[in-house]
């Protein structure tokens, strides 16, 4: 009867690999997250490639590589073509992250897994939703409602709630319950008691220091390094946690009025901050409030300077500085180059704010004790010079010639076949293509193609002997009033407003910073030069956790609060996964699954349900009792049919006394509350051993049985009241009863 | 529409109003009913109350500018939804929050909240009224900020069982149309809306659900707007001609809303016309300058066009427009374009410039929007020969005056197309001058109400509109109770749990699984001093209870008795017996009787009166029961008689019910009485007859 739900991990279980899971709900396949790592290893995507074409919708939860990195590749190479849903910041910052990834990679290698166009076209198909917007799917997914909810961690971060027939499937990974400078925490109340919760064990074993203490340590380390004349490198992600760090530094610098430079260096730094400035709706309450009351945009940065080019950093005034640079993994990007430059100076500090991805340089450096020296590859894209350039040009020329030859051959064949007139360049009608405005490199490839046409889109009709302008016979219709006209031909097109829009924008690729743009457009022949070198790691290396994820204890308490009927654990080391699984089995719910890659677990709820109509006659006699946000009542009814006979309806029982039912006491008794309550009623109470409550002189109260399960998952409470026959006994019993509703 | 239920009888009174009131949806315009200004619309349904907008009437001052708040009890309002920042939609909010008993929640969009504060602070500063007449001060505005919650477009919020979300409305930045869903009945309140996309705002969206009621603005009634490109062309042409001939252009405009649209048009026009770029455009409004950062920030609330431009540069960072704080900073040398407030040319900078420029025929004045009757702007539209300057002198009006309306309200074409697609069965018109509204109503009726399924209403202020919605209550039976779907005629018993407007039926054991409620069992153990023989107790109990089972305790091997299958009596020691049972009204009663009995034995008082089995015949028993039943019914209903068939005839307020004592069947014309008598009889019977054994 319940909705059928299957979960199949495609990547990222029992380890820290990127996240990607297949969740199918009544046959509708959701791909939740589509992550890749900084190493861009296509092997990781193999499971995805097998199912990509079957996917009906993609849900993205965070704007970082681990959650959406594989999207462009999957769309262009694996046949993924489903509609994608995300929040606005995930879309925008995700796009920038992918640009940064691409540019960082392209700068040091012949990266060809995907192009910027792939990135653009992948992100073009994203539908953007706001938090707690109930989006009703149509077509195959009819009846399914998806809604993003606040998750913290990164700007726009999402917990997805997928609802069908009143049953919720909640996908919550990497969430953060704490409020941060720019983000709100997760609100566990918005998805209580889902049928299925998919969450991760990544942080199940971690403990976090107190936030204030952590911040102090972080700033102290940085300031001490700067005062010692050293530089600080913070390897960060493109548009995620970097924002929080920027705010911390900005705030601290303003407070102390420090003069050291701070730089934020990624290929897309300035556009990132520009966009982030317009995302205030998505940030925490304090940011929104400060803007509403004083129009202070927290991301109107005064201290942090934005750079998109390493040259600008090299040109910066000499002296100690802080640099936030992407990528966090140190595998590529500016952080990689800066690390290589700075690692050998003991005064410098490399401060990691997140755990490095497995197998990356950052991870290696975070080992304890850190390695004394690391081997790195320094690659650079250099323009071709000398012989190489000549060789390249010759090669290009050869290719061009071949193409031309091919084209002319083709054309000759064609013309011979069609009308036998040879359109050679001596023909006065033919415009010499070399004079066209097309850029030479483009012309190189198409050169021959223009020969037989005068203008683009004009093909000589096959019946004509020589090229001629098209001639249309004017066969207009006439009636009594003159020529019959189509009114649409005379409507003034609503264009004027969009003209400018078109020539300024019209594409989604957003603002690529000039340097970056010039870099892409720069089609000058170049090659990648790599050399391996060993870097002596003399600088200090520190790891301070600024990942903005909930720690183990909070994860457990949040899962307990959400209290799912079934739980699926993904993402996290085998050890952490096993630990959390055991914990949840013991304390939270009986159905915990931790599937392997490509192992499908069926988490269809074994819940039975049917719908009935409550008739007016029945409801008029029901007396509800209010209990918090619930109202409860006992009903005895007879099943009947509704007027139009399509549903069951409940009618009041006609016969005299309804069957007696066992009475039910509803309420959640907390011993401490009861103690207070009794005390307020003038009863002497104190806790005796074993959690029992001694009331008055003789009567004892205690809870027995399965008290282990906490929170919403609790079973039936068993309470024992004992005592000799006395007035107190009845009085206390009365008080105890008053804590419950009797149905 | 109006309720038609007949007056209920006195008997049904307790139930009847509950269901009737519950199904009746009431809408009362407290302002903007057949008028423009002080928008405020009250709606209540099923005990949930929503207030839409909270504005002031710009034509009045002090308390008389407020909507009719006296008509309602502010403390009963659950949610207050503000559509946009204009004074006639939001300006009485600080008063309502700070000076009334309203304790509900207030929602508006992010941009609205940011501009609301700036606008009202400015309003308080410039309004020249006496201190007593002040509705609120700056402090009240600041306090109100803490109580306003924000909502994003499409975000669904739920307060106290009321679900609501909003759509973009066009009109101004942050303007929203609210859809409210109470127990499945949906109401759409459009506020001011425009279905035409402009330079920076999206057109009002088409909701994906059709509402049951649509409360819609009718400012422009049956009028039609000029197409956007026509008026934009007129606007830019006038300006271009004037400045190229060496004249000056004055655009008197309200600081926020349309002004930003005009600036975008000008900035764009300048950037495409190089020849104009040495001619300055001034924008003279300190308030608008403050609000510029709001426009520069909430790009996401604007249209796709702006968002695309934003990818290159922020379109609200104007390239050709300079700010002007006061006339002192302004040097009048040669052609220029100045946009200044107020829009009506009553006073202030726009009037100062007008006085300076009005007599030169090279100059132009462009009035870009709706102008209020009685202002100078309204006067000059008719192009009089002379005008009175601020210093009282007369001057010839030589400058050319152009009226080009950029008002972002829906016109008739938009309203009709919007409603045609939405097809709401009930349309309530607000926010429109009475005549204009009347015409719109007539036209809508001919267009929509021909089939008789659509109703168009135009309530005046404080006039309530009532509609009945018989919402079906659907419940979902889940868990153990739902293992088998019952056939017709089978009984269903369980706990009905109501949360908001959703109902679930479940077995008590499942309560903690499907809700956050938990159930408890209370076990009671009580020791009673007793030093007689255990057998005596058993003997006595057997005389009262049908079922007394002997046994031995498994642990201590002492004799036990299970009374009525509920209470276990155990001989703990020579001097004590203990009783234990699970709490429940019946068990408690049984245990009480056992305690009484045991105490009686130990006190060795005269025995409990034992009626010998033989002395009580069935007949006597029945007679006594009948007597008791009769007496109780009399005490409940008063007039109870026996008729010839042995039935009891009960008459109350002229309604008669006949009760068959054997079967419990009741006959009556009156449903309410029938139900009452049946329930009463059922209860009396349970009291008179022996307690059935559990499980029997």
Asked whether the beta carbons of residue A717 and residue B685 sit closer than 8 angstroms, the reply is no
The residue ranking higher by pLDDT, B46 or B16, is B46
The residue ranking higher by pLDDT, B621 or B612, is B621
Which of A368-372, A412-416, B7-11, B306-310 is least confident? B7-11
Question: Distance, in angstroms, between B156 CA and closest chain A CA?
Answer: 5
Determine the average pLDDT of the residues in B477-487: 79
Residues A352, A353, A358, A360, Cα dihedral to 10°: -40
Query: Do A204 and A552 touch, CB atoms closer than 8 A?
Result: yes
Residue of chain A whose Cα is closest to the Cα of B291? A295
Determine the average pLDDT of the residues in A563-592: 89
Whether pLDDT at A420 is above 70:
no
Q: Which residues of B touch A619 (CB under 8 A)?
A: 19, 473
Asked whether the beta carbons of residue A635 and residue B494 sit closer than 8 angstroms, the reply is yes
Alpha-helix residue ranges (DSSP H) falling in A128-240: 211-227
Residue A433, pLDDT score: 43
Query: What is the 3-class SS of A188-218, one letter each residue?
Result: HHHHCCCCEEEEECCCCCCCCCCHHHHHHHH
Q: What are the tens digits of pLDDT across the range A657-696? A: 556 677 778 877 778 888 888 888 888 888 877 778 888 7
Q: Which residues of A touch B229 (CB under 8 A)?
A: 492, 494-497
Residue B583, pLDDT score: 84
Question: Among A666, A704, A729, A732, which would you mutate to test the B interface (most chain B Cβ atoms within 10 Å of its Cβ)?
Answer: A666
Check if B525 contacts A (Cβ < 8 Å): yes
Check if B58 contacts A (Cβ < 8 Å): no
Chain A to chain B Cβ contacts (< 8 Å): 316
Question: Distance, in angstroms, between A335 CA and closest chain B CA?
Answer: 26
Whether pLDDT at A455 is above 90:
no
Whether pLDDT at A47 is above 80:
yes
CA torsion through residues A450, A453, A456, A460, sign: negative
Which is it for strands A665-666 and A741-742: parallel, antiparallel or unpaired?
antiparallel
- Facing A496 at nearest CB: one of B232, B503, B692: B232
Q: What are the tens digits of pLDDT across the range A267-291? A: 999 899 999 998 998 998 888 888 8
Check if B695 contacts A (Cβ < 8 Å): no
Question: What pTM does this model have?
Answer: 0.79
Residue B631, pLDDT score: 84
Asked whether the beta carbons of residue B489 and residue A638 sit closer than 8 angstroms, the reply is yes
Q: Which residues of B touch A92 (CB under 8 A)?
A: none
- Facing A607 at nearest CB: one of B118, B479, B495: B479
Question: Among B498, B665, B677, which would you mutate to test the A interface (most chain A Cβ atoms within 10 Å of its Cβ)?
Answer: B498
Question: Among A620, A628, A696, which would you mutate to test the B interface (most chain B Cβ atoms within 10 Å of its Cβ)?
Answer: A620
Asked whether the beta carbons of residue A669 and residue B482 sit closer than 8 angstroms, the reply is no
The residue ranking higher by pLDDT, B614 or A394, is A394
Alpha carbon of A586 to those of A583, B153, B509, B608: distances in Å?
Answer: 5, 42, 20, 55
* HSE, side-chain direction, 13 A CA sphere, residue A476: 8
Asked whether the beta carbons of residue A639 and residue B490 sit closer than 8 angstroms, the reply is yes
Query: Do A61 and A170 touch, CB atoms closer than 8 A?
Result: no
- Facing A609 at nearest CB: one of B482, B497, B686: B482
Whether pLDDT at B89 is above 70:
yes
Residue A461 — very low, low, confident or very high, per pLDDT cuts 50/70/90? low
The residue ranking higher by pLDDT, B452 or A202, is A202
Residue A441, pLDDT score: 43
Q: Which residues of A touch B521 (CB under 8 A)?
A: 665, 716-719
Alpha carbon of B454 to those of A340, B212, B444: distances in Å?
Answer: 75, 10, 9
Asked whether the beta carbons of residue A716 and residue B521 sit closer than 8 angstroms, the reply is yes
Share of chain B above pLDDT 90, in %: 31
Q: What are the tens digits of pLDDT across the range B16-42? A: 334 444 678 999 999 998 888 899 999
- Facing A725 at nearest CB: one of B110, B520, B595: B595
Asked whether the beta carbons of residue B512 and residue A650 sit closer than 8 angstroms, the reply is no
Mean pLDDT of chain B: 84
Nearest CA-CA partner of B425 in B405, B399, B409, B448:
B448
Which of A207-211, A235-239, B11-15, B17-21 is least confident? B11-15
Question: Among B159, B492, B591, which would you mutate to test the A interface (most chain A Cβ atoms within 10 Å of its Cβ)?
Answer: B492
Nearest CA-CA partner of B417 in B175, B230, B154, B204:
B204
Check if B99 contacts A (Cβ < 8 Å): no
Determine the average pLDDT of the residues in A598-611: 82
Q: What are the tens digits of pLDDT across the range A485-518? A: 777 777 665 554 544 444 443 344 444 444 445 4
Check if B210 contacts A (Cβ < 8 Å): no
Q: What are the tens digits of pLDDT across the range A54-109? A: 999 999 999 999 999 999 999 999 999 999 999 999 999 999 999 999 999 888 88
Residue of chain B whose Cα is closest to the Cα of A589? B513
Nearest CA-CA partner of B166 in B3, B326, B303, B301:
B301
Check if B310 contacts A (Cβ < 8 Å): yes
Determine the average pLDDT of the residues in B271-293: 88
Nearest CA-CA partner of A275 in B308, B142, B30:
B308
Q: Mean pLDDT highest for which of A92-106, A356-370, A514-528?
A: A92-106
Determine the average pLDDT of the residues in A144-171: 91
- Facing A650 at nearest CB: one of B492, B520, B675: B492
Q: Which residues of A touch B228 (CB under 8 A)?
A: 494, 497
Determine the average pLDDT of the residues in A419-429: 45
Residue A65, pLDDT score: 92
Whether pLDDT at B3 is above 60:
no
Residue A704, pLDDT score: 74
Asked whether the beta carbons of residue A504 and residue B309 sit closer than 8 angstroms, the reply is yes
Residue A135, pLDDT score: 92
Nearest CA-CA partner of B569 in B583, B585, B553, B557:
B553
The residue ranking higher by pLDDT, B66 or B686, is B66
Question: Distance, in angstroms, between B551 CA and closest chain A CA?
Answer: 22
Question: Distance, in angstroms, between B3 CA and closest chain A CA?
Answer: 18
Residue B248, pLDDT score: 92
Asked whether the beta carbons of residue B509 and residue A274 sit closer than 8 angstroms, the reply is no
Which residues of B are catalytically annotated? 409
Residue B556, pLDDT score: 77
Question: Distance, in angstroms, between A649 CA and closest chain B CA?
Answer: 9
Q: Which residues of A touch B151 (CB under 8 A)?
A: none
Residue of chain A whose Cα is closest to the Cα of B585? A663
Query: Do B138 and B121 touch, CB atoms closer than 8 A?
Result: yes
Q: Which residues of B touch A630 (CB under 8 A)?
A: 497-499, 515-517
Residue of chain A whose Cα is closest to the Cα of B508? A664
Question: Among B526, B582, B664, which would you mutate to test the A interface (most chain A Cβ atoms within 10 Å of its Cβ)?
Answer: B526
The answer to whether the complex's ipTM is over 0.90 is no
- Facing B293 at nearest CB: one of A297, A622, A632: A297
Residue of chain B whose Cα is closest to the Cα of A706? B520
Q: Which residues of B touch A161 (CB under 8 A)?
A: none
Whether pLDDT at B366 is above 80:
yes
Question: Distance, in angstroms, between B372 CA and closest chain A CA?
Answer: 30
Whether pLDDT at B162 is above 80:
yes
Asked whether the beta carbons of residue B516 and residue A192 sit closer than 8 angstroms, the reply is yes
Q: Which residues of A touch B472 (CB under 8 A)?
A: 613
Determine the average pLDDT of the residues in A236-255: 92
Whether pLDDT at A709 is above 50:
no
Alpha carbon of B33 to those of B67, B136, B280, B410: distances in Å?
Answer: 10, 24, 44, 18
Residue of chain A whose Cα is closest to the Cα of B296? A278
Name the CA radius of gyration of chain B, rounded. Answer: 38
Residue B346, pLDDT score: 79
Mean pLDDT of chain A: 81
Alpha carbon of A169 to those of A24, A229, A569: distances in Å?
Answer: 10, 53, 13
Residue A91, pLDDT score: 94
Question: Among A88, A275, A295, A512, which would you mutate to test the B interface (most chain B Cβ atoms within 10 Å of its Cβ)?
Answer: A295
Residue B144 — very low, low, confident or very high, per pLDDT cuts 50/70/90? very high
Residue B175, pLDDT score: 94
Query: What is the 3-class SS of B220-275, one letter each residue?
Result: CCCCCCCCHHHHHHHHHHHHHHHHHCCCEEEEECCCCCHHHHHHHHHHHHHHHCHH
Share of chain B above pLDDT 70, in %: 93
Tokens 């989604």 identify what position? A508
Whether pLDDT at B375 is above 50:
yes
The residue ranking higher by pLDDT, B643 or A469, is B643
Check if B518 contacts A (Cβ < 8 Å): yes
């Amino acid at each position: 009867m319940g909705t059928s739900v299957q979960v199949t991990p495609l990547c990222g279980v029992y380890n820290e690999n990127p996240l990607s899971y297949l969740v199918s709900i009544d046959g509708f396949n959701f791909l939740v997250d589509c992550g890749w790592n900084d190493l861009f290893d296509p092997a990781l995507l193999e499971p995805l490639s097998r199912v990509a074409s079957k996917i009906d919708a993609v849900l993205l939860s965070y704007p970082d590589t681990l959650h959406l990195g594989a999207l462009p590749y999957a769309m262009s190479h694996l046949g993924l073509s489903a509609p994608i849903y995300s929040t606005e910041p995930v879309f925008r910052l995700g796009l920038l992250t992918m640009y940064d990834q691409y540019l960082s990679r392209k700068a040091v290698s012949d990266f060809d897994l995907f192009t910027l166009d792939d990135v653009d076209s992948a992100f073009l198909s994203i539908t953007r939703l706001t938090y707690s917007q109930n989006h009703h799917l149509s077509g195959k997914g009819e009846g399914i409602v998806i809604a993003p909810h606040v998750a913290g961690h990164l700007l726009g971060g999402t917990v997805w709630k997928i609802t069908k027939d009143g049953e919720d499937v909640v996908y919550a990974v990497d969430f953060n319950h704490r409020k941060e400078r720019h983000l709100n925490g997760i609100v566990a109340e918005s998805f209580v008691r889902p049928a299925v919760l998919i969450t991760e064990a990544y942080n199940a074993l971690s403990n976090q220091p107190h936030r204030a203490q952590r911040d102090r340590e972080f700033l102290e380390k940085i300031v001490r390094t700067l005062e010692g004349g050293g530089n600080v490198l913070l390897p960060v992600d493109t548009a995620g946690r970097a924002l929080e760090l920027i705010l911390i530094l900005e705030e601290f610098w303003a407070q102390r009025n420090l003069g050291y430079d701070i730089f934020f260096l990624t290929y897309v730094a300035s556009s990132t901050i520009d966009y982030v400035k317009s995302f205030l709706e998505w940030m925490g309450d304090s940011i929104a409030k400060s803007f509403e009351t004083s129009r202070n945009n927290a991301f109107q940065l005064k201290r942090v300077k934005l750079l998109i080019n390493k040259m600008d950093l090299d040109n910066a005034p000499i002296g100690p500085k802080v640099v936030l640079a992407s990528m966090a993994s140190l595998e590529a990007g500016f952080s990689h180059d800066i690390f290589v430059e700075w690692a050998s100076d003991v005064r410098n500090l490399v401060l990691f704010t997140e755990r490095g991805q497995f197998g990356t340089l950052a991870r290696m450096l975070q080992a304890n004790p850190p390695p004394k020296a690391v081997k790195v590859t320094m690659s650079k894209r250099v323009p071709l010079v000398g012989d190489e350039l000549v060789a390249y040009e010759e090669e290009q020329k050869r290719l061009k010639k071949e193409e031309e030859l091919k084209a002319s051959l083709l054309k000759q064949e064609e013309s011979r076949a069609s009308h036998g007139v040879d359109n050679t360049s001596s023909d006065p009608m033919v415009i010499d293509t070399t004079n066209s405005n097309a850029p030479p490199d483009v012309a190189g490839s198409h050169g021959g193609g223009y020969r037989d046409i005068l203008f683009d889109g004009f093909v000589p009709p096959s019946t004509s002997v020589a090229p001629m302008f098209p001639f249309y016979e004017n066969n207009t219709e006439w009636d009594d009033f003159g020529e019959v006209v189509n009114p649409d031909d005379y409507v003034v097109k609503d264009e004027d407003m969009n003209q400018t829009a078109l020539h300024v924008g019209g594409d989604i690729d957003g603002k690529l910073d000039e340097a970056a743009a010039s870099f892409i457009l720069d089609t000058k022949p170049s090659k990648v030069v790599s050399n391996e070198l060993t870097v002596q790691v003399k600088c200090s290396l520190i790891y301070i956790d600024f990942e903005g994820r909930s720690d183990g204890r909070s994860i457990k308490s949040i899962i307990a609060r959400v209290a799912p009927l079934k739980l699926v654990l993904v993402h996290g080391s085998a050890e952490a996964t096993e630990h959390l699984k055991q914990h949840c089995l013991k304390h939270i719910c009986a159905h915990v699954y931790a599937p392997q890659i490509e192992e499908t677990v069926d988490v269809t709820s074994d819940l039975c349900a049917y719908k009935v109509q409550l008739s007016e006659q029945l409801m008029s006699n029901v007396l509800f009792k209010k209990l918090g946000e619930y109202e409860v009542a006992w009903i005895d009814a007879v099943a009947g049919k509704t007027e139009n006979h399509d549903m069951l309806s409940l009618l009041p029982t006609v016969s005299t006394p309804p069957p007696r039912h066992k009475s039910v006491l509803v309420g959640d008794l907390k011993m401490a509350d009861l103690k207070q309550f009794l005390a307020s009623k003038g009863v002497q109470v104190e806790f005796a051993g074993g959690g029992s409550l001694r009331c008055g002189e003789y009567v004892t109260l205690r809870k027995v049985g399965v008290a282990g399960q906490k929170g919403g998952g609790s079973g039936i409470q068993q309470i024992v009241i004992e005592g000799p026959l006395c007035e107190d006994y009845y009085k206390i019993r009365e008080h105890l009863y008053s804590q419950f509703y009797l149905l | 529409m109006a309720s038609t239920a007949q007056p209920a009888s006195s008997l049904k009174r307790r139930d009847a109003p509950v269901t009737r009131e519950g199904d009746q949806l009431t809408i009362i315009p407290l302002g903007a009913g057949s008028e423009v200004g002080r928008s405020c619309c009250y709606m209540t349904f099923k005990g949930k109350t929503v207030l839409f907008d909270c504005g002031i009437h710009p034509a009045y001052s002090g308390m008389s500018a407020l909507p009719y708040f006296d008509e309602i009890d502010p403390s009963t309002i659950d949610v207050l939804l503000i559509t946009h920042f204009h004074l006639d939609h939001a300006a009485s909010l600080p008063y309502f929050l700070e000076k009334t008993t309203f304790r509900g929640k207030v929602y508006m969009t992010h941009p609205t909240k940011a501009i609301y504060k700036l606008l009202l602070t400015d309003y308080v500063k410039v309004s020249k009224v006496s201190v007593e007449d002040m509705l609120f001060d700056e402090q009240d505005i600041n306090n109100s900020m803490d109580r306003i919650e924000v909502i994003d477009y499409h975000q669904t919020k739920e307060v106290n069982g009321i679900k609501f979300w909003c759509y973009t409305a066009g009109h101004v930045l942050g303007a929203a149309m609210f859809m409210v869903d109470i127990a499945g009945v949906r109401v759409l309140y459009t506020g001011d809306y425009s279905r035409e996309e402009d330079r920076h705002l999206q057109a009002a969206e088409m909701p994906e659900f059709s509402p049951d009621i649509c409360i819609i603005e009718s400012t422009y009634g049956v009028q039609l707007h000029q197409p956007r490109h026509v008026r934009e062309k007129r606007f830019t042409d006038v300006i271009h001609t004037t400045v190229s001939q060496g004249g000056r252009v004055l655009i008197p405009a309200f600081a926020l809303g349309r002004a930003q649209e005009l600036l975008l048009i000008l900035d764009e026009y300048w950037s495409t016309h190089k020849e104009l770029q040495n001619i300055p455009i001034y924008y003279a409004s300190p308030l608008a300058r403050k609000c510029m950062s709001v426009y520069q920030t909430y790009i996401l609330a604007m249209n796709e066009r702006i968002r695309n431009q934003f990818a290159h540069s922020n379109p609200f960072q104007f390239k050709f427009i300079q700010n002007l704080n006061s006339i002192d900073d302004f040097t009048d040398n040669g052609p220029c374009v100045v946009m200044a407030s107020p829009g009506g040319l009553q006073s202030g900078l726009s009037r100062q410039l007008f006085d300076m420029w009005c007599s030169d025929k090279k100059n132009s004045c462009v009035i870009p929007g709706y102008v209020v009757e009685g202002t100078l702007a309204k006067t000059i539209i008719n192009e009089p020969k002379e005008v009175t300057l601020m210093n009282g002198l007369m001057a010839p009006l030589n400058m050319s005056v152009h009226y080009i309306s950029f008002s972002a309200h829906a016109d008739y074409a938009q309203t009709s197309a919007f409603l045609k697609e939405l097809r709401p069965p009930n349309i309530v018109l607000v926010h429109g001058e009475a005549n204009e509204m009347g015409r719109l109503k007539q036209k809508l009726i001919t267009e929509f109400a021909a089939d008789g399924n659509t109703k168009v209403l135009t309530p005046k202020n404080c006039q309530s509109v009532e509609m009945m919605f018989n919402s079906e209550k659907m419940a979902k039976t889940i868990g153990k109770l739902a293992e088998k779907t019952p056939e017709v005629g089978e009984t269903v018993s369980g706990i009905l749990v109501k949360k908001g407007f959703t109902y679930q039926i479940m077995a008590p054991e499942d309560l903690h699984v499907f809700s956050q409620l938990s159930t408890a069992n209370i076990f009671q153990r009580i020791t009673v001093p007793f030093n007689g023989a255990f057998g005596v107790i058993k003997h006595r109990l057997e005389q009262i209870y049908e079922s007394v089972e002997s046994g031995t305790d498994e642990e201590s091997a002492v004799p036990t008795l299970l009374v009525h299958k509920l209470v276990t009596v155990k001989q703990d020691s020579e001097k004590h017996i203990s009783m234990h049972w699970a709490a429940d009204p019946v068990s408690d009663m049984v245990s009480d009787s056992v305690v009484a009995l045991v105490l009686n034995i130990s006190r060795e008082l005269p025995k409990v009166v034992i009626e010998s089995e033989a002395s009580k015949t069935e007949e006597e028993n029945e007679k006594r029961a009948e007597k008791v039943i009769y007496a109780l019914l009399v005490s409940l209903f008063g007039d109870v008689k026996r008729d010839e068939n042995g039935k009891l005839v009960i008459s109350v307020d002229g309604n008669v019910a006949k009760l068959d004592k054997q079967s419990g069947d009741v006959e009556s014309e009156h449903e309410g009485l029938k139900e009452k008598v049946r329930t009463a009889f059922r209860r009396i019977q349970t009291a008179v007859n022996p307690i059935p054994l559990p499980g029997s």
